[in-house]
Chain A
């Protein structure tokens, strides 16, 4: 008979142990693995492991022409695909010193703001679900469908549109576009009130997000946390205001800032931003000028030798495109400074000494998109 070995009794509150959260975990929203060191249920240390969906987009770009690269940028942050396209187009237009028609600028700005709204809708849906509100998921996806329908008519695709091209857009807007956007705005203005009722004033939600994941303004700048997450820490970092592009210098909108610096504050910034985006679209949608939907471009686009940088405000934060060109039709080196990648690096700092359930709230409030991290 085997001798019964007296195993040392473990005291969970003293012992530190490691848990893998992900790569398949509903609250990481994709294939991200977080190696969490726990003491009891307190997070002591967190190491993100990325690369599960790394496709080497920067390497592929070195073999592709600029119009081809636009199709790759869709696949980085798939929830702000229009804005990613827009960044590359602006960079090419800046390098070639091309003036795009005003109609294009209107269309692009409206598309960007629709992108921002649907991205925030999906974020709201999944953030609510992370914290236990399954209704949010249905509401968010239901309302997002309207924007996808508008896109499908105009761009021919619901998700990865690649609608922008250097010099303009691929094709003109559909005759129903303006009418449908009006219907969407009217509907969503009523629906967003439900969003506020379900989550914003909910006691359980407030208790799980207020005071959780405090990020000071100094830390936000040092970690480079841009977008709604940075503005939730009172850092005025909206590229649409600091370096306006397209129509943003001509429309009136407020940069939403919150001063509480916690997860709830980041949540409120995104909620307010949806109102601001609708406000921007309302100013533009009835005034789209007639004209060409694309400027004339050469068949082969070659950027003059040199280095270029373009910043845009994507739904998650600052997207930077850095190109080193040697004068050929393909870039010599192309780097994407993606917002999710930079925002990920603060996760360890925010979740230290918090409960593991808070980690879900913090991760949700940063709104990470995994293909945007890995590229």
Chain B
């Protein structure tokens, strides 16, 4: 399916998704509340069948925190990038997708570790690289590194 059809299909499911500019992949900004519902449909609908989540990354856009999902269909060979954003920097949370794509389990733990974004219904949401008692979330832009005082 080409990007125009793909966009139309997704707007049927989530009418308030917005397209973002990206030369490579079709990128859609989705309201966080609709994410899980959309993800289930992307995986299960036969003409979409996005079965491979090849990247899940957290991004700190300054004011907003975001999670970016790169999806691929191994059957139809099409791609899509989903983005969810939140203004809440104190207690950001999104729904987990690791019940849909199992690979998300570790990627979401990493995003929690580095950005402090919580994923609702995640089976085992703990820090993955840093110690349990680590203060702060290092990849956030407002993180102050008290250990390494030397700036690069």
Interface residues of A (CB under 8 A from B): 50-51, 54, 56, 58-60, 63-64, 219, 221-224, 226, 235-237, 242, 306-309, 311, 318, 320, 322, 324, 333, 335, 337, 341-342, 344-346, 349, 374
How many whole Å from B20's CB to the nearest CB in chain A?
8
Given contacts A51-B129, A221-B52, A374-B129, contact A309 B25 (CB under 8 A): yes
A341 and B106 contact, CB distance less than 8 A: yes
- B22→A224 contact, CB < 8 A: no
B10 lies within 8 A of chain A by Cβ: no
User: Could you list some 18 contacts between A and B, CB below 8 A?
Assistant: A221-B52, A221-B74, A222-B101, A222-B102, A222-B103, A224-B52, A224-B53, A224-B103, A226-B54, A306-B23, A309-B24, A322-B57, A322-B68, A322-B70, A337-B54, A337-B55, A345-B106, A374-B129
For B106, the chain A residues whose CB sits under 8 A away are 341-342, 344-345
Q: Closest Cβ of chain B: how far from A206's Cβ, in Å? A: 29
When distances are taken between beta carbons in the complex, the residues of chain B under 8 Å from A344 are 106
A235 interface neighbour in B74, B101, B107, B110, Cβ under 8 Å: B74
Select which of B22, B59, B77, B101 is within 8 A of A333 by beta carbon. B59
Interchain CA distance A324-B51 in the complex, whole Å: 25
Q: Point out the residues of chain B lying under 8 angstroms from A309, CB to CB.
A: 24-25, 55, 70
- For the complex, would chain A's binding face be called helix, strand, loop or mixed by DSSP majority? mixed
B96 close to A (CB within 8 Å): no
Residue among B54, B68, B138, B139 with most chain A CB within 10 A = B54
- The answer for the CA separation of A63 and B143 in the assembled complex, in Å, is 14
Query: With contacts A219-B102, A224-B53 known, is A59 near B21, CB below 8 A?
Result: no
- Judge whether B103 and A306 touch: CB under 8 Å: no
C-alpha spacing A219/B102, complex, angstroms: 8
Question: A191–B25 Cα gap in the complex (Å)?
Answer: 44
**Known A63-B152, A306-B22: A320·B103 in contact at CB below 8 Å:** no
User: How far is it, in angstroms, between the C-alpha of A120 and the C-alpha of B110 when the chains are bound?
Assistant: 28
Residues of A contacting B128 in the complex (Cβ-Cβ under 8 angstroms) = 50-51
- Return A214 CB to nearest CB of chain B, in Å: 15
CA distance in complex: A27, B102 (Å): 25
- The complex places the Cα of A224 from the Cα of B23 at a distance, in Å, of 25
Known: A224-B102, A307-B22, A320-B55. 9 other contacts (CB 8 A): A51-B128, A58-B114, A64-B152, A224-B53, A224-B103, A333-B60, A341-B106, A342-B103, A346-B102
- Report B-chain residues with C-beta under 8 Å of the C-beta of A54: 129-130
Q: Is the CB of B130 within 8 A of A224?
A: no
